[in-house]
Structure 1
Amino acid sequence: MSTPSNWPLPPQSIRFIIPHKIIEKLSNNKLSKDLYPLGAGYYKEAEGHRMERLEHDDHLLIYCLDGKGKIRVNQKNIAVNSGDLIVLPRGTAHQYASSLNIPWTIYWCHFEGALADDFITHLQISEQKPVVHLGLHSSLVSEFDALLEARHSSYHLNAFINAANQLRQILTHIALLQPLVRSQDADSFDLEKIHSLMQARIHEQLDIDTLAASVNLSKYHFIKKYRDITGTTPINHFIHLKIERACHLLDISSRTIAEVAFMVGYEDAYYFSRVFKKVMGISPTQYRKLQVGAWSYKSFKTATV
């Protein structure tokens, strides 16, 4: 694997390098050998982040959620902005750096596999111009988050096989999105940008002022426009995203209710349980009992916040 940057990792950022023994198993497993991650991460407001690779021996994907940066490939400097995707195939020497004034927030993944070259070709992104404006897509953000879930697996191979197939989902999703990408009017309401910001901050609190500022609107006009388009309020949608995430964590792990609450931005587990029950109709404990059949699906009724 190409050496990842040694950028000092602050809180709320992630750098996850898959151990060599796991990579060896992935490369020999029929379910993952065609495509598998070598390492992945999420860098939030990555001030001072920079990298230079004269030798690049795997494939690298970088998805910029916010902020700015730049990359130098083939003796050309290319600006990187929010919503841009960088694809660096094996063998492509490169330099990149986060902006000093508006540091980028990015997801990244190094990957390999017997069909990795074919997946790169399928993206139809020129090596001469490896930066494309894909736009901000909340579903893609969720897929990167799911890929990073493997780091909680205690190195169980099945979790990494799942991550390998999540990477396949990400790359094929990008290929599907590309023909649909088109520039938006400067004054258009970028709903995907708002939802992507919500997904990226799902483990935190997020206020209306921050959401409104992301699309350059006043709080009043933002709430009105959002409700006109979606039929709900932005905070209600954000709460539902948090509870969806909590359900996923309850499904796939044995974490305590308090731990799950903290992972979706609630320091008070009791308050989290109240919000969860208001949305789902049952408590987190009752929801977890669905897994073992101790709670009937007939009792499972969703509510509206």
Structure 2
Amino acid sequence: MLSLTHDKHQSFLYRHSKEPLTKDVRISSIGFEKRVSTDYYWDGRMRKNNLNHYIFQYTLSGYGEIRVGEQILTIEPGQAFIVKIPSDHCYYLPEGSPEWEFIFITLEGPKAEECWDYVIDQFGIHLTLDDTSPLIFSLKEIYQFAVKEGIGDSFISSAKAYEFIMSLYRFTKGLDQVKPEIPNDIRTAIHFMTEHYHEPLSLEEIAEHTGLSKYYFTNKFQKYTNTTPIQFLTTIRMEKAMELLLKTNKTLHEIAIETGYDNANYFSKVFKKLIGMSADSFRKDKKMLDNYHVIIN
């Protein structure tokens, strides 16, 4: 976990030249602050120097509040808010809070607006995420880059802004969740499929090998791997098939049999659906693909 414990509180405001190549998104400001006075108060309708800016602010300790329309939300450790300027909101240190320590980033540009619109539409302005979340790690990393290296021009600013936006999108898709330790029965299934992918395995056979019911096994496998057992098995088979296509002169029928399929026609359909091109075309591109490791997702 990336910690800011020994970092001093400071913020950076950027006014880089309006380089056309970076106009889609840039960092306007980023900071690590601790507020202890109720003078800390920002009204999203009154910040005329920050029009079309987009704020993400994450609480590390203490708490603050944000009013959105007539609703008041408490932003505690492990929570963030995401707002657009201008909009009907204000955030502040309430009288009951001794402090509000947080890290924030403010972006500008149409790609930031597009991202903020998407996140707010999906989740609202109030987000809950652990301090170990890859999104918060990314924000801390960008902040520490600003401290140690400096965001010296609009190109660096745009690159770091895109980095944060992509982390935010990954969060909304559930792709940045810290994966729990895979239990032994799921590891057993993975090992079994890896060793026996060339056999015509059924879901029932794989589940039986773990001692779990088919229904319970499928749900548990998907929980820990974000894919189904059959999708996982198909990925293993296709990775082996690509290796055979590139490194041997075996026929499609031979490759199909070696990867657990009864015939070349069905193998070819599965291959094209997953890889996006026919097995023959993939083999013909051997020269281009020789130095690449193909990742199936």
Q: TM-score range by the shorter chain?
A: 0.3 to 0.5
After TM superposition, the score normalised by the length of structure 1 is 0.46
After TM superposition, the score normalised by the length of structure 2 is 0.48
When Rg is computed on C-alpha atoms for both structures, the one with the higher figure is: 2
